Chains A and B, each alone.
Chain A
Amino acid sequence: MPVVLVSLIRRAVWLVGGLGALGLLLSACAPSSGPTPVGFTPTAPPPVAEATVAGPAPTVVVPLTPTAAIDWTEFESRTPDGLYERGRPDAPILIRDYSDFL
């Protein structure tokens, strides 16, 4: 009788151990199902280096009136190199005037 009892206990231990191993195996094979992040914050883009230019910053006057009303001869601005320009900033024709005042 004791022999039979010991045998039953051993089988029960093996059964419990086998079920535990099977559970571990199944959990390892199952797809990840962790919690979905809430309040996801996008990663900030990497900083972009800005080109540096010599000379003073351009001085551009922002027109307050519609284009048709602007007299572009009064519109004075500077290039990044500090050259003075006169006229509509995006005019299709650029005339470089190389001159001496004398």
Chain B
Amino acid sequence: MLRIEPVLLAEYVRTGKVKLQFWHILDFPNSVQASAAAECAGQQGAFWRMHDVLFQNQDRLWRADEAVLTELAATLGLDTAAFGACLAGGEMHERARAVDRATKAQGVRVRPTFDINGQRIQGSPPLEQWRQLLDRLP
């Protein structure tokens, strides 16, 4: 959803028609580190801003260590000491793993997967298909 998300945000979320809810999937060794970074940013009220920054820097995440993630947190103006302590604590890693287990328990096997008011979409449809889906819902 990386490329079309800004459009969905502008056309549907900003206007109050759509609400997004994020569920972690951890398919790669460094996935948990990135997800924990988002959760730690969330502790400072910046989960979604970190979510956006992580996707914008996706290429760096494959080998991202704590220093890289803290650098990204700094670009958002977060308290980097608190952010680093949160990452080091490991609690948010466990949190991300728990959400990943809950995701997979719901039968999600493909990433990304979306549930739109309960209707499951696997993969990332083109923007026009998103518009058709969302425009016909109330």
CB pair B21–A83 under 8 Å, yes or no, is yes
**What residue in chain B is nearest A72 (Cβ atoms)?**
B16
- Among A72, A82, A86, A96, the one with the most B-chain Cβ atoms within 10 Å of its Cβ is A96
Say which one of A1-9, A12-20, A35-43, A87-95 lies at the interface with B. Answer: A87-95
Task: For A70, list chain B residues within 8 Å (CB).
Answer: 16
Number of residue pairs spanning A and B whose beta carbons lie under 8 angstroms apart: 135
CB pair A73–B14 under 8 Å, yes or no, is yes
Q: Give the residue of B31, B48, B103, B117 whose beta carbon is less than 8 angstroms from that of A84.
A: B48
Main secondary structure of the interface of B (DSSP, over half): mixed
CB pair A72–B13 under 8 Å, yes or no, is yes
Is A100 engaged at the interface, CB distance under 8 Å to the other chain?
yes
Q: In the assembly, what is the distance between CA of A70 and CA of B138, in Å?
A: 20
CB pair B31–A97 under 8 Å, yes or no, is no
